[in-house]
Structure 1
Amino acid sequence: MLKILFSPSEGKKSGGREKEKDLFGAPNARKEILDAYNTVVLSGNEEKIKQLFGFKKFGECRSYINDIYNSPLMCAIERYQGVAYDYLKYDELNENAQEHLKNNTLIFSNLYGPVLGGDVIANYKVKQGNTVGDIAPDKFYKERFSYQLDLYLGGHDILDLRAGYYNKFYKLTQPHTTLKFLKNGKTVSHWAKAYRGIVLREIAKAGVNSLDDFMKLEIENLQVHEITEQKLKKEIVYNIIE
């Protein structure tokens, strides 16, 4: 089976409707960091709250000031809003494609750590790189989840579509494939997010279950330029042709 590693987004949809259920990993593995988050969010300390959320004005914080344990829940793959998710267009996919994403996408959240696309999470705010109380999320999850992720991903094909920052949460120790996008011979950065979303969308639409199937997938405006291999990593370099 093909498992896809994906990044979260700063933006999120509000609300929710899903019932609470266990998240990826051991029960209570996140309790320490979620408790720390709640302590800050419910403290009434405007400066600490602004710092955690990454906002300059306290008025921007109000919609996120909720008890994390008593907030509406939504599937992670639906919760996030941002460039990659705008191009994924999850809501426009059919049920089979949506289920494919829920079951085979691992998103690396700045609060919840690694969650499956179908895992339900609250509407939260943690600016990338910020600590939660005294806890650094990347170190917290690398220590607690690396072994579980190794076990979960073992024997599967892996497509790593994460932004580089999220390697801090989990370093792959088995063969995997990454993508790189070129336009006019130059590596794109911001628009790489868009094309990661497009790639994930096409995988879901086609029900791709293996790396071999992915290599056969034709994606509009993308043409394979070269494929490089170094130790455990295979990198597919695409030219963007528009």
Structure 2
Amino acid sequence: MLILLPPSETKRDGGAGAPVDLGSLFAPELAPVRREVLSALTELSADREASLRALKLGPKQSAEVDRNRGIAGAPTMRALERYTGVLYDALDAAALDERGWEAASRSVVVHSALFGLVGATDLIPAYRLSFDSRLSLERGAPSLKKRWSGPVASVLAGRGDLVLDLRSEGYAALGPLPDREGAHYVRILARDDSGAVRALNHFNKQAKGLFTRALLDAGVDLRTTNDLLDWARAEGYDLTLSDHGSRELRLVVPEVSGEPGKLLAVLRMAS
């Protein structure tokens, strides 16, 4: 099973690992594109004003440009520990036990705009680059989508296992899923007190982090869509194939009325 996660804008600083080795990351065949993108970002970071515009940053975020300038020699840490924010706070990698980390190393991959696909335990530095960032202000310069879409899609197409895509649409465009059985985009929905189901927006990321953590804690080796649905049913999760087609899975979570901060405190259906 492969669980595809989006990265986060925010990253934890520091690290104790050696500088990043692009060829040692998940899917080493992506190393040439990684070198190309990293080189372009490093070159861009030499011009602070151009970097701020290309990365859509404000003047108070200029430290992000300095961070990018030193990526090649920066210390590293495991990817699941590097990323912060709503999804990763909910996943809470710091609290994973040894079995949880083993499961993460086998199944969790983060889709980075800078490095492409990185494994949960791959050692990466802090950086700033988003799916809609530009690597050059020059007209006609290749976009991140143009650089990554084909190579990442090729890696994903080469897998025959169960794939759960929890990425945002922007990152999914940097490497579309193959059109085959067992490769699913997961849509998060909320059910209110009246039973009505609607799209979940702000707390979407929290649900993805909690669901990923549940899969890691379970330590299950799910090989097919039916395996996943059977596991989810047994554990009390409202996970079904969408009416829009077998490539989409719907995870419906309970909405706690009047307590938006606790909207996804519980993922399982009330029993």
Normalising by the residue count of structure 2, what TM-score does the alignment of the two structures yield?
Answer: 0.78
* Contact 1:223–1:241 (CA under 8 A) maintained in structure 2: no
- Aligned-pair CA distance for 1:88: 0.4
Partner residue of 1:56 out of 45, 55, 58: 58
The residue that corresponds to 1:150 in the other structure is: 157
The answer to whether residue 29 in structure 2 is matched with residue 34 in structure 1 is no
Runs of 4+ in 1 over 6 A off after TM superposition: none
- Aligned-pair CA distance for 1:172: 1.4
SS at match of 1:12: coil
SS at match of 2:203: helix
Structure with bigger RCO (C-alpha 8 Å, 6+ apart):
1
The residue that corresponds to 1:125 in the other structure is: 128
- Aligned-pair CA distance for 1:58: 4.9
Partner residue of 2:71 out of 37, 52, 68: 68
User: Matched residues in 1 for 2:41 and 2:198: separation?
Assistant: 40
User: Matched residues in 2 for 1:99 and 1:54: separation?
Assistant: 37
User: Matched residues in 2 for 1:145 and 1:203: separation?
Assistant: 24
SS at match of 1:5: strand
User: Matched residues in 1 for 2:126 and 2:239: separation?
Assistant: 39
* Contact 1:23–1:115 (CA under 8 A) maintained in structure 2: yes
- Aligned-pair CA distance for 1:38: 0.7
Letter in 1 for 2:201: S
Q: 1:93 to 1:145 in 2, by over 3 A?
A: same
User: Matched residues in 1 for 2:237 and 2:253: separation?
Assistant: 5
Task: Give the number of aligned pairs.
Answer: 236
The residue that corresponds to 1:100 in the other structure is: 103
Of stretches 199-208 and 175-184 in structure 1, the one that deviates more from structure 2 is: 175-184
User: Matched residues in 2 for 1:60 and 1:229: separation?
Assistant: 46
1:126-177 Cα distance to aligned partner (Å, 9 max, x none)? 14401122342222111223222211x22x1111111122221111122223
The RMSD of aligned alpha carbons is 2.4
The residue that corresponds to 2:191 in the other structure is: 183
- Aligned-pair CA distance for 1:10: 0.3
- Aligned-pair CA distance for 1:70: 0.7
- Aligned-pair CA distance for 1:223: 4.6
The residue that corresponds to 1:169 in the other structure is: 174
The answer to whether residue 6 in structure 2 is matched with residue 4 in structure 1 is no
Superposed, which structure 2 residues align to 1:207-222 within 5 Å?
A: 207-210=219-222, 211-215=225-229, 216-217=231-232
1:72-108 Cα distance to aligned partner (Å, 9 max, x none)? 1122121111110010000011011022112211211
Letter in 1 for 2:198: K
Equivalent pairs: percent with the same residue? 23
* Contact 1:208–1:214 (CA under 8 A) maintained in structure 2: no
User: Matched residues in 1 for 2:237 and 2:156: separation?
Assistant: 31
* Contact 1:6–1:105 (CA under 8 A) maintained in structure 2: yes
Superposed, which structure 2 residues align to 1:107-118 within 5 Å?
A: 107-118=110-121
- Aligned-pair CA distance for 1:213: 4.7
User: Matched residues in 2 for 1:226 and 1:127: separation?
Assistant: 31
The answer to whether residue 247 in structure 2 is matched with residue 233 in structure 1 is yes
More strand by share: 1
* Contact 1:113–1:137 (CA under 8 A) maintained in structure 2: no
Which protein is bigger by CA-based radius of gyration? 2
Normalising by the residue count of structure 1, what TM-score does the alignment of the two structures yield?
Answer: 0.87
Letter in 1 for 2:155: Q
- Aligned-pair CA distance for 1:229: 5.2
Letter in 2 for 1:30: R
User: Matched residues in 2 for 1:232 and 1:226: separation?
Assistant: 10
The residue that corresponds to 1:195 in the other structure is: 207
Letter in 2 for 1:5: L
